[in-house]
Amino acid sequence: MEVRNIAIIAHVDHGKTTLTDALLRQTGVAKEGVSMDSNALELERGITIYSKNASIPYKGTKINIVDTPGHADFGSEVERVLRSIDSVLLVVDAQEGPMPQTRFVLKKSLELGIKPIVVINKIDKPAADPARTEEQVLELFLELGASNEQSNFPVVYTIGKQGIAKLKLADDSTDLTPLLETVLAHVPPASSADALNKPARLQPFNLGYDNFLGRLAVARVYEGVLKTGDAVFVKKPNGETRQGKITKMYTFRGLQKVEIGTKDSGLPDEAPQSGAEAGDIVLIAGLPDIYIGETITTDQNAEPLPAIAIDEPTITLTFLVNNSPFAGREGKYVTSRQIRERLERELEVNVGLKIDFEHEQDGYKVSGRGELHIAILLEQMRREGYELQVSQPQVIFREGNGGELSEPYEETVVDVPAIYQGSIIERLGQRKFVMKDLRVHENQVRIIFEGPTRGLLGYRSQFVLDTKGEGILSSRVIGFRPYAGEIKKRQVGSMISMMSGKALGYSLWNLQERGILYINPATEVYAGMVIGNTSKGEEMTVNPTKNKNLTNVRASASDEAINLVPPFLLTIERGLEVMAEDEYLEITPESVRLRKQKLTEIERSKAKRS
Ligand SMILES: Nc1nc2c(ncn2[C@@H]2O[C@H](COP(=O)(O)OP(=O)(O)OP(=O)(O)O)[C@@H](O)[C@H]2O)c(=O)[nH]1
Ligand SMILES: [Mg+2]
């Protein structure tokens, strides 16, 4: 059967998954309400975390679709996916226009010689401006050095949410047929008779894991036919070769994985496949040490396929056994060995992650592509019953041959109402961010900055405050550049409990004037736990368990009515953001607590003096 391979790429939230789901529905392979975002965390957050494969049948052709995550922390995954497909649907929100991640994924696609199909989505939004968006997309193509052929892209206008696509805005359409037709017309066939007759060559671009089968590789078949049971050679890009055997293979039909060589597709018109054929994207088991970018082949003398680069981590932090006074109360897996085994399993599939297990007594050094990348792992672990504590994330520096330091830099795009423009430029300027571009559109401004990742750590919650929640900030790593120099951040001081017990409304009411609280009344606290931050920036030790002095009680009813400001409850991400260097974030299945590493004031002042 003829195959076409596409990836859906875009900035976060521009509608990739919604559109993919609609394509699955229209072609009859998924029912109403079924989504590619299937992981519990994805559903809760409404974002895609893992790229996923599906396929749809259309007019006798199998269209493999890879839905990719839009958040910049997962950009490296998108880059790998792009190596395995032949074209992309570049989805752009008709109101927001191209955003940093649009630029990144487009740049990578163009460099690979891909000819994108542009999908202007969400044209139903009241403030949508498809014509302006299209113009900006064309500008972006030209700016990124697109060839004539590439910048002569087909455009499809869509309302992904309603499953509607049009070739002209004025067209009447009730489904996605125009988009499917565009795919057939513009995406080259994934294989040819010539490729089919060669010895098998495949390349994994993603990893998976199954409790029974072990490590799985998601691979594109470039040439030949691979059969279950085949003896294969696995070649590293440098030619180093080892042997293996394929134990099981799956192909994608709709959202299902169907074992190759069996007859259980549920789609009666498709013959059971006898092997993984050139052009297809398949899941392979049997190679326990298979890795991204290697070449699987049946021919010992075959050339390895070009390597697939994996982005280096940019931030690092330590995972430790929880040793707070509340340790072990809520977690099921709490020991160093259990945490280690979990992290080792994570390394099987989490390609951008690096872990140093060497100095076990000091915890495990975990490095990743950004705060969200790490936060998702921690969130996943707590859901599985793990309990642990982590240190403050730090940027990873690199040292050149001459000892010169470099650090990760990001491109940051800020969309804010024009009145906040001045304060944002000033605030980011202090954090060594340089303005690269400023565009005004009605009352909104879009400002593009470049600066060190270090300057952004801990900035997001400040940004929300500075823009009264009306701003959007998105950012992505653009590479390592020379050290930007010292950054003086406004000191945030912690409000630390000196007592253990239950926090009382009366004391919180007194404390809320002095800063922002992280806890509710009746929250259990311990001495050394951080219960809030102070507005003046100084560190403050307080007693949140103090009750009203009983001898002073007056019998007035109004006295009892305490007006408490809703607290800033800590999530893992907020915690990673607000924590100080001498603190730990304690994470259990039920709680996220911030604490001082040294729990008593005496220990803390001793540590400060030395
Ligand atoms: N108004 C409108 N909203 C849409 C449309 N398509 C998607 N949305 C909404 O946009 C939001 C994001 O949609 P998703 O499909 O999850 O976006 P995504 O690009 O997959 O997001 P990530 O995978 O996290 O990068 C959801 O709330 C959708 O309901 C559309 O055509 N019109
Ligand atoms: Mg998505």
Q: Is 17 in the pocket of ligand 1 (CB under 6 A)?
A: yes
Mutation probe of ligand 1 site: the residue of 11, 16, 18, 43 with most atoms within 8 A of C-beta: 18
Cα separation, 587 vs 573, in Å, equals 11
Q: Determine if ligand 1 sits within 6 Å of the CB of residue 53.
A: no
Q: Which atom of ligand 1 is nearest to the CA of 159?
A: 31
CA–CA dist 366, 477 (Å, integer): 18
Output the CA 17–ligand 2 centroid distance in Å: 4
- Residues forming a β-bridge with 146: none
pTM: 0.88
**DSSP-assigned letters across all residues of 459-513:** THHHHHHHTTT--EEEEEEEEEEE------PPP-EEEEE-S-EE--HHHHHHHGG
The encoded tokens of residue 388 equal 């642990």
Q: Is 69 in the pocket of ligand 1 (CB under 6 A)?
A: yes
Atom of ligand 1 lying closest to residue 47 CA: 24
Ligand 2 mean position, distance from CA 252 (Å): 19
Structure tokens at 17: 């998954």
Atom of ligand 1 lying closest to residue 18 CA:
15
Query: 68 CB less than 6 Å from ligand 1?
Result: no
Q: What is the pLDDT of residue 557?
A: 42
Percent of the chain surpassing pLDDT 70: 96
| Pick from 48, 16, 15, 11: nearest CA to 140 | 11
Does the beta carbon of 48 sit less than 6 angstroms from any atom of ligand 1?
Answer: yes
Range from 71-75, 101-105, 110-114 carrying the lowest mean pLDDT: 71-75
Question: What does the pLDDT look like over 40-84, one tens digit per residue?
Answer: 888 888 899 989 999 999 999 999 999 999 988 888 889 899 999
Provide the H-helix boundaries in 282-389.
336-349, 371-383
Non-local CB neighbours of 551 within 8 Å, separated by 6+ positions: none
Residue 159 Cβ contacting ligand 1 at under 6 Å: yes
Q: Whose CA is nearest to atom 10 of ligand 1?
A: 15
Q: Write the residue with the smallest CA distance to atom 21 of ligand 1.
A: 13
Distance 318 CA to ligand 2 centre (A): 30
pLDDT at 264 over 70: no
* Alpha carbon nearest to ligand 1 atom 23, residue: 48
R_g of the chain computed on alpha carbons: 27
Q: Which ligand is nearest to the CA of 47?
A: 1
- pLDDT for position 610: 81
Distance between CA atoms of residues 425 and 434, nearest Å = 9
In this model, does residue 553 exceed pLDDT 70? no
For the segment 391-426, what is each residue's pLDDT rounded down to a tens digit? 999 999 999 888 899 999 999 999 999 999 999 999
CA of 3 from ligand 1 middle (Å) equals: 27
CA distance 192 to 184: 16
Cβ–ligand 1 distance for 5 under 6 Å, the answer no
> Which ligand 1 atom sits nearest the alpha carbon of residue 162?
31
Specify the residue for token string 């961010």: 433
Q: What are phi and psi of 504, to 5 degrees?
A: -115, 145
C-alpha to C-alpha distance for 125 and 143, rounded to whole angstroms: 27
Q: Give the residue-averaged pLDDT of 179-192.
A: 96
**Residue from 187, 352, 254 nearest 53 by CA:** 254
Burial (CB count <10 Å: 0-12, 13-18, 19+), residue 509:
middle
The Cα–Cα gap between 192 and 594 comes to 59
**DSSP state for residue 558 in the 8-state scheme:** G
DSSP 270-310: SPPPSSEETT-EEEEES-TT--TT-EEES-TTPPPPPP---
Question: 153: CA distance to ligand 1 center in Å?
Answer: 23
- Mutational test site, ligand 1, from 9, 11, 12, 13, max ligand atoms within 8 Å of CB: 13
The first and second tokens of residue 40, run together, are 């519990």
Average of per-residue pLDDT values in the chain: 91
- Above 70 in pLDDT, residue 559? no
Q: Is 121 in the pocket of ligand 1 (CB under 6 A)?
A: yes
Closest-lying ligand 1 atom to the alpha carbon of residue 48: 23
Q: Distance from the CA of 34 to the center of ligand 2, in angstroms?
A: 13
Q: 276 CB contacts (<8 Å, ≥6 apart)?
A: 200, 202, 221, 225, 226, 227, 249, 251, 260, 282, 284
**φ, ψ (nearest 5 deg) of residue 61:** -110, 145
Asked whether residue 609 carries a pLDDT value surpassing 90, the answer given is: no
pLDDT at 31: 86
Q: Which ligand is nearest to the CA of 72?
A: 1
> What was the pLDDT predicted at 44?
86
The CA-atom distances, in angstroms, between 91 and each of 106, 121, 382, 525 are 10, 6, 34, 47
pLDDT digits (tens, 9 = 90+) for 490-544: 667 899 999 999 999 999 999 999 989 999 999 999 999 999 998 788 899 999 9
Is the CB of residue 260 below 6 angstroms from any atom belonging to ligand 1? no
The finding on whether 25 has its CB within 6 A of some atom of ligand 1 is no
Residue 45 CA: which ligand is closest?
Answer: 1
Q: Which ligand is nearest to the CA of 16?
A: 1
Q: Cα–Cα distance between 595 and 449 in angstroms, integer?
A: 34
User: Which atom of ligand 1 sits closest to the CA of residue 10?
Assistant: 19
- Which of residues 459 and 525 earns the better pLDDT score? 525
Nearest to 246 by CA among 234, 236, 237, 258: 234
**What 3-state class would DSSP assign to 204?**
strand
d(CA 438, CA 526): 48
